[in-house]
């Protein structure tokens, strides 16, 4: 099968690396999605193991359509009966159109549904669908009039790992946080501090990586019920693999701080739900008390942006303080995602690298201040 995996715009390279590390062959990279080849098992493994993915779709097919008639015929020509049983509930949950003649999502959705009904009517020899069985949500992308149709195996977006019951006012999506950590050279034997940890997303995602805990091992997926496509035993063996991988018997130094004691409490509860409370040290502490005695650590954080949380006027002071505290940390690296335009200016230093990213609709930057690498450990 061809599997399509959407992700955050700008983080395709991270997802690509993850998919290759799982052992699959990438066949296409587009803005915001990667397509790879895999068997049924890859649906389970993709959903359970990929940290930066948004969901996993089975590609049903693709065709060109400039008119609604072509969209109808192209959709009807796809082998829907291979996926959707007689009592299945099916609908186009999302249509995204870029640089294409057809662009109205509601029209695309209703025409495709009609075409699917036509196809399945002929196949099953019935004229009315109860739709009382399993759910089969369809997602469609139009790019330059090329229509790509995918069946969503995931359901609730993969960023929902199941551990974040309570959040900060502006939490970062779990899959975005994971992808950003993976963009840095941080590894579990290096120190990681988030001085604005909020609900704890960065420290928790880092701890999950450190303990090799698969992000999707404690949640459900839409396609778990599709036993005609993915035998249950594939899910169970993938979950066994995930459980065997877990190793919490590790040494790691991951810390989360926030000025708001209530947030710290929430972060601790979330970490406990994620099963990593023993791997993270959370504490209520304002930024101006940030310090660490060791060298070569990492700050990875999502400071207040201004538009959502704080008054703009406090931001200058806050970023200046961040710059000062960072300067005192010997040989540290700092990575921050923010939409605050004056971040570098107020921090007082130009970032070594800078990447534009979209956090939802919000244009943000991932500023990367790279400290020196630690000397190699002497092998004794
Ligand atoms: N990444 C977090 C959200 C961070 S929002 C998550 O996923 O939940 C920014 C956080 O910075 C808020 O929780 C706020 O309480 C905290 N904060 C604001 N000013 C601070 C300061 N001076 N010192 C420490 N934390 C601060």
Give the model confidence (pLDDT) of 142-178 as tens digits: 999 999 999 999 999 999 999 998 776 788 999 999 9
Residue 256 has pLDDT above 70, yes or no: yes
> Considering only CA atoms, which residue is closest to atom 9 of ligand 1?
304
pLDDT at 377: 72
Atom of ligand 1 nearest to the CA of 286: 23
Ligand 1 centroid distance, CA of 194 (Å):
9
Ligand 1 centroid distance, CA of 188 (Å):
23
Ligand 1 centroid distance, CA of 310 (Å):
10
Strand 280-284 with 89-98, pairing: unpaired
Atom of ligand 1 nearest to the CA of 260: 15
pLDDT at 378: 59
- % of residues, the chain, pLDDT over 90: 92
pLDDT at 307: 65
Is residue 337 very low, low, confident or very high in pLDDT (cuts 50, 70, 90)?
very high
Average pLDDT over the chain, rounded to an integer: 95
What average pLDDT score do residues 48-68 get? 98
Ligand 1 centroid distance, CA of 283 (Å):
12
Considering only residues 268 and 313, tell me which one the structure prediction assigns the higher pLDDT.
268
- In a mutational test of the pocket of ligand 1, which residue from 207, 270, 304 has the highest number of ligand atoms less than 8 Å from its CB? 304
Tell me the two tokens of residue 186.
């941080």
What average pLDDT score do residues 15-27 get? 98
Element (H, E) at 379: none
What average pLDDT score do residues 313-322 get? 93
In this structure, of 102-106, 166-170, 319-323, 326-330, the range with the lowest mean pLDDT score is 166-170
pTM comes to 0.95
Ligand 1 centroid distance, CA of 318 (Å):
11
Element (H, E) at 91: strand 89-98
Residue 15 has pLDDT above 80, yes or no: yes
- Which residue in 48, 54, 114, 83 sits closest to 246, CA to CA? 48
What average pLDDT score do residues 224-234 get? 97
pLDDT at 308: 56
pLDDT at 379: 52
pLDDT at 380: 47
Query: Quick one: three-class SS letters along 104-146?
Result: CHHHHHHHHHHHHHHHHHHHHCCCCCCCCCCEEEEEEEEECCE
**Phi and psi (nearest 5°) for 80?**
-60, -35
Residues with CB under 6 Å of ligand 1 are 167-168, 170-172, 195-196, 198-199, 201, 258-260, 263, 286-287, 302, 304, 309, 318
In this structure, of 101-115, 141-155, 157-171, 211-225, the range with the lowest mean pLDDT score is 157-171
């Amino acid at each position: 099968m061809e599997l399509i995996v959407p992700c955050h715009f700008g983080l395709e390279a991270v997802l690509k690396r993850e998919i290759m590390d799982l052992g699959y062959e990438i066949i296409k990279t587009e803005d915001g999605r990667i397509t790879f080849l895999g068997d049924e098992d890859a649906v389970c493994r993709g959903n359970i193991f990929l940290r930066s993915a948004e969901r996993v779709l089975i590609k049903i097919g693709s065709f060109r359509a400039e008119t609604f008639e072509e969209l109808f015929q192209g959709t009807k020509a796809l082998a829907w009966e291979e996926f959707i049983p007689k009592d299945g509930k099916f609908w186009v949950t999302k249509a995204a159109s870029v640089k294409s003649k057809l662009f109205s999502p509601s029209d695309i959705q209703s025409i495709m549904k009609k075409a699917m009904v036509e196809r399945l009517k002929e196949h099953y020899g019935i004229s009315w669908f109860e739709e009382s069985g399993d759910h089969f949500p369809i997602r469609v992308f139009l790019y330059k009039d090329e229509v790509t149709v995918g069946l969503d195996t995931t359901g609730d977006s993969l960023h929902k790992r199941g551990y974040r019951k309570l959040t900060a006012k502006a939490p970062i999506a779990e899959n975005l946080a994971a992808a950003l950590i993976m963009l840095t050279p941080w590894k579990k034997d290096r120190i990681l501090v988030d001085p604005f940890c909020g609900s704890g997303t960065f420290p928790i995602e880092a701890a999950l990586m450190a303990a090799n805990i698969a992000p999707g091992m404690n949640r459900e997926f839409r396609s778990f019920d599709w036993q005609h496509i993915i035998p249950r035993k594939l899910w169970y063996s993938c979950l066994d693999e995930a459980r065997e991988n877990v190793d919490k018997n590790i040494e790691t130094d991951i810390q989360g701080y926030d000025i708001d004691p209530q947030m710290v409490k929430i972060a601790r509860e979330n970490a406990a739900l994620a099963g990593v409370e023993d791997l993270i040290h959370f504490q209520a502490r304002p930024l101006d008390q940030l310090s660490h005695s060791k060298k070569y650590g990492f700050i990875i954080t999502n400071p207040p942006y201004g538009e959502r949380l704080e008054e703009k006027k406090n931001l200058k002071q806050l970023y200046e303080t961040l710059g000062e505290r960072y300067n005192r940390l010997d040989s540290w690296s700092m990575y921050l995602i923010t939409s605050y335009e004056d971040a570098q200016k107020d921090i007082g230093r130009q970032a070594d690298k800078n990447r534009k990213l979209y956090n939802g609709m919000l244009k943000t930057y991932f500023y990367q201040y790279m400290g020196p690498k630690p000397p190699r450990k002497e092998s004794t």
